[in-house]
Amino acid sequence: MGTKHTATLEHEHATHHDHAHDHDEHHETFVSKYIFSMDHKMISRQFLITAVIMACVAMTMSVIFRMQLAWPGEKFAFVNALLGDKWAKDGILDPNMYLALVTIHGTIMVFMVLTGGLSGTFANLLIPYQIGARDMASGFLNMLSYWFFFASSAIMLASCFIEDGPASGGWTIYPPLSALPEAMPGSKLGMTMWLVSMAIFIVSSLLGGLNYIITVINLRTKGMKMTRMPLTVWAFLITAILGVLSFPVLFSCALLLIFDRSMGTSFYLSDIYIGGRPLDNVGGSPILFEHLFWFLGHPEVYIVLLPALGITSEVISTMARKPIFGYRAMIGSMLAIGFLSFIVWGHHMYMTGMNPFLGSVFVFTTLLIAIPSAVKAFNYITTLWKGNVQYTPAMLFSIGLVSSFISGGVTGIILADSALDINVHDTYFVVAHFHIVMGLSAIFGMFAGVYHWFPKMFLRMMNKKLGYLHFWITFIAAYGVFFPQHFLGLAGVPRRYYTNSNFPMFDNLVDINEICTVFAIIGALGQLVFLFNFFYSIFRGDKAPQNPWNSNTLEWTTPVANIHGNWPGKLPVVHRWAYDYSKPGQNEDFVPQTVPLADGEHDGGEH
Amino acid sequence: MKLLVLLAILLLIIAGHQLLRIIELSRGLKKTKEWELTNSDNNTMGKGMLIFMFAFFAFFFWQVVRWKDRALPESASEHGFKIDWLWDVNMNFIVIPVFLITNFFLFWFAYKYRGNTNNKATFFAHSNKLEMLWTIIPAVALAFIIIFGLKYWNEIMDDAKDPNKITIELYAKQFDWSARYTGKDGKLGTTDYRQISGGNSVGLDTNDVLCNDDIIVKDEFHIPIGREIELLMRSRDVIHSAYLPHFRAQMNCVPGLVTAFKFKPVKTTEEMRKDPYVIQMMKGINDQRAKFGKEPVLFDYLLLCNKICGASHYGMQMNIVVESEKDYNAWLAKQATFKKVASK
């Protein structure tokens, strides 16, 4: 039972393929190996390094606007050095540039870092490795996926250097603000570039997503049943399905906005008087935009979060030396979260003028999501119970993720409740909520992944002590930045205010803003430790052994080398699930998936 | 100056490089690999988790106590009390306990089960009972939240039905607000955005006689205590959001649509100024203003813009004065009607 599998054919096929590769190696040029590579491992590294660079840009932006919020009107030479006299005369940030920074920070973090970077890096690296495939189903589409991502990132960065500044209507780019060049300088060329960049990003995401789905469905090695797949692969699969179903809607949303901007249509515009004249557009509605946007926007939250949860599941189980608690419940929760994420988008719109009855439906569906989320959190905690927890930096970040997932998740209960949302909608309470639950959790998951799979990606080890230092600075600073923001929200501070000192109401909150900013600066400097460790270890880290963490999954059965086809010779055959850690009756505290079941031994957590 | 900074960076890099070489050389002498975990690593990090938990919780309670006079004062509207009650129940009985308890277990287990070469983990892969338990408990808690939440939501968002209501239109544009009163006829005149001009800033339809006695005010608007206020909202250019935090009221202003929100103020501006909590809160504000070298201020209700609307989004607000019906009527009588303003 379970050993028969359709993958046998591909298995045979791939073995032939292998010989061809031995031949190929000699013809590889620099360009085909490092630039237009079709190898999933190289593409994964390309995604990661691009994302790291984009993350640095977005983080620097956040430091600049945090400094403006804590010390409005102060002069900072370094702000002037980065932004120039036009946007920061004498080192005082311009209000338009403030909004631009907030917008581009959000866009880069959500799309380039936590969607493209996180899924792109780890789905590419781990799907073929962990299901026992030679590569992605289509190496060519995979390569295109990266290069579209690169182009999209490049355009987004380039838009920061144009005369009117980049898009600055918030990362949600609600029209008419984003549709009318008269409304703000950022709605001129910057907005066009944002939309072009996003359209290209969607192409990248779809190419990648389709590839991930097809690979998982078709290319599993012999014995790798769906119910034996590591939770990482499940997470990437569900994420890819969400992306494929929701990104096209964002595309149509953006396309209609492009039409409104440049072709005089009125999908989102009606009854507008701006720039000293009434516009001809009538009959459209910005609420249509909001529906289309959030139909992607909410699944997007889980597109960001699920891969991080998948990575964490794997790391926590491996490092606690215990099977993940409730493997099937974890899959079920992810499927439930994935499904529900499509019917909750309206909770972003309680206060938009949407029919309040519609709001009621979304209250119900949104709060339902809390159930699978709670199951996941409790299962993580139970996995630690009676474990033998090994504190690698990856494990620290995974525990950090569970903590932020809880701390940020519980305030979601408040925000999902439309009656309570009335007074905190669009305030710093929301900022605190989503940064903790989505931002921190996802970035912690990403760090966990980098520390854990660095030996597979770069064949060297990262420095452990620097990893520890990086974790503690990041963890403390992250809560230090975002936890106090709940209190700003309770005081009624709206989001996206250039300064809170323009009128008296928020003057007593100056010190809270200062605390947030000081932690933000510490946290940002702490990332230098990571950057150093990362780039240093790529070149000079200790050489990695084959299976440094005594892990069960298939990627650790590959040799310590980046070879085409991943396994020299035949593909491994899978005999058991991925979580036989500390199984009674075994000599070691781990049993790789390739080890056959002994007589009378049960699979899948029974014993 | 820039040259000096560059030189300093260069020196730092050289110093760092040398330091690295020393570390690399000394590491070569050791037998264990740097990345391998030792019992002492696990011990330190496990304890670190526990210490972090205490620090984290201490930080949480410190914020709650220290900033207790920073939150918005008690609701100044009738429905706001329901929101505040529901908020407190949710926060105190669900959100904060779950936050504390689950984080406690997480960090406690992280500490208690920190790795050691002598230990072995327990093989414990699933338990239907446990999983059932933590599916059902959240489900029950959520049922409570949903039932009460929706009950209040439906009441709050229902149409304004009070025959005695006062209808006021809030009109948003980049970057200010105006408020329009019905005037004597009790009806707002129709609007036409094509007629917007210097003398007709909110775009009234001048062909509609109902507009003539409408009263339009800027910077500050007044409402009487104890009457249901129906706010209708429009926008001239982009989406704005009318946020009246003290009244627990908010609604977006969307071009092309008229949106609505109703509330009943229960405290006058004067009463709020005498409220002990508000006095304490205003002291905090005025202490900080003294540090800035700014004038002290009295409490005022505010209407804020809470949807990003352009460069001066942060400066878009309007004062609200809640007063007795008598004062309100006296104030309203002094305001010029649209016709009077237009004929000037």
Pure H helices in chain B: 2-29, 39-66, 78-89, 96-112, 128-157, 269-274, 276-292, 325-334, 338-343
Note whether B159 contacts A: Cβ–Cβ < 8 A: no
Beta carbons of A280 and B266 less than 8 angstroms apart: no
**3-class SS of residue A581:** strand
**What tens digit of pLDDT does each residue of A176-191 get?**
999 999 999 999 999 9
Calculate the alpha carbon distances from A231 to A325, A405, B60 in Å.
12, 17, 33
Domain ranges of chain B: 45-66+76-113+128-158, 166-343
Q: Which chain A residues are closer than 8 Å to B312 by Cβ?
A: 95
Q: Is the peptide bond before A176 cis (omega within 30 degrees of 0)?
A: yes
Q: Which chain B residues are closer than 8 Å to A475 by Cβ?
A: 52
Query: Looking at chain A from residue 35 to 94, which residues have their Cβ under 8 Å from any Cβ of chain B?
Result: none
Side-chain half-sphere CA neighbours of B81 within 13 A: 7
Report the range out of A139-143, A561-565, B129-133 with the highest average pLDDT: A139-143
Closest CA to A319 of A602, A575, A589: A589
Low-confidence ranges of chain B (pLDDT < 70): none
Cβ distance of A490 and B72 shorter than 8 Å: yes
Beta strands at B240-244 and B301-305: parallel, antiparallel or unpaired:
antiparallel
pLDDT at residue B63, rounded to an integer: 97
ipTM (interface predicted TM): 0.94
In a mutational test of the A interface, the residue from B259, B261, B269, B308 whose CB has the highest number of chain A CBs within 10 Å is B308
Backbone φ and ψ for B216, nearest 5 degrees, come out as -115, 125
Dihedral (C-alpha) A342, A344, A346, A351: value to the nearest 10 degrees? -160
CB count in 10 Å sphere of residue A493: 25
Q: Which chain A residues are closer than 8 Å to B152 by Cβ?
A: 419
pLDDT at residue A31, rounded to an integer: 80
d(CA A382, CA B134) in angstroms, rounded, equals 11
* Min distance A142 CA to chain B CA atoms (Å): 33
CATH class of the domain at A7-20+39-557: mainly alpha
DSSP letter at B228 equals -
Note whether B89 contacts A: Cβ–Cβ < 8 A: no
3.30.70.3400, 3.30.1130.10, 3.40.50.20, 2.60.40.420: which CATH number matches B166-343? 2.60.40.420
Note whether A26 contacts B: Cβ–Cβ < 8 A: no
**What tens digit of pLDDT does each residue of A25-79 get?**
556 788 877 888 899 999 999 999 999 999 999 999 999 999 999 999 899 999 9
CB count in 10 Å sphere of residue B179: 22
Q: Which amino acid, residue A113?
A: V
Cβ distance of B122 and A322 shorter than 8 Å: yes
Mean pLDDT taken over chain A: 92
Q: Which chain A residues are closer than 8 Å to B110 by Cβ?
A: 384, 389, 399
**3-class SS of residue B252:** strand
Side-chain half-sphere CA neighbours of B288 within 13 A: 18
Query: Looking at chain B from residue 239 to 298, which residues have their Cβ under 8 Å from any Cβ of chain A?
Result: 239, 241, 243, 245-246, 248-252, 254-257, 259, 281, 284-289, 292, 294, 297
Note whether A33 contacts B: Cβ–Cβ < 8 A: no
CB nearest to B243's CB, from A285, A419, A494: A494
Beta strands at B166-173 and B215-218: parallel, antiparallel or unpaired:
unpaired
**What tens digit of pLDDT does each residue of B19-64 get?**
888 877 777 777 778 899 999 999 999 999 999 999 999 999 999 9
- What sign for the dihedral angle of Cα A335, A338, A340, A342? negative
Q: Is the pLDDT of residue A14 over 50?
A: no
pLDDT at residue A535, rounded to an integer: 95
Q: Which chain B residues are closer than 8 Å to A370 by Cβ?
A: 138, 142
Q: Assign A130 a pLDDT band (cuts: 50, 70, 90).
A: very high
Q: What percent of chain A has pLDDT over 70?
A: 95
- What sign for the dihedral angle of Cα A153, A158, A161, A162? negative
pLDDT at residue A27, rounded to an integer: 67
d(CA A286, CA A551) in angstroms, rounded, equals 51
Query: Looking at chain A from residue 565 to 584, which residues have their Cβ under 8 Å from any Cβ of chain B?
Result: 579, 581-584
Q: What percent of chain A has pLDDT over 90?
A: 88
Query: Looking at chain A from residue 384 to 413, which residues have their Cβ under 8 Å from any Cβ of chain B?
Result: 384-392, 396, 399, 402-403, 406-407, 410-411, 413
pLDDT at residue A607, rounded to an integer: 67
Q: Is B251 left (phi over 0), alpha (psi -120 to 50) or beta?
A: beta
> Mean pLDDT, to the nearest integer, of A462-475?
96
Note whether A469 contacts B: Cβ–Cβ < 8 A: no
Cβ distance of A387 and B113 shorter than 8 Å: yes
Domain ranges of chain A: 7-20+39-557
Cβ distance of A326 and B131 shorter than 8 Å: yes
Q: Which chain B residues are closer than 8 Å to A321 by Cβ?
A: 115, 120-121
Q: Is the pLDDT of residue A1 over 80?
A: no
d(CA A127, CA A366) in angstroms, rounded, equals 30
Q: Could you tell me how many helices (H) and strands (E) chain B has, helices first? A: 9, 10
CB count in 10 Å sphere of residue A110: 23
Q: Which chain A residues are closer than 8 Å to B41 by Cβ?
A: 391, 464
> Mean pLDDT, to the nearest integer, of A437-452?
97
d(CA B18, CA B35) in angstroms, rounded, equals 22
Supply the pTM of this predicted model: 0.94
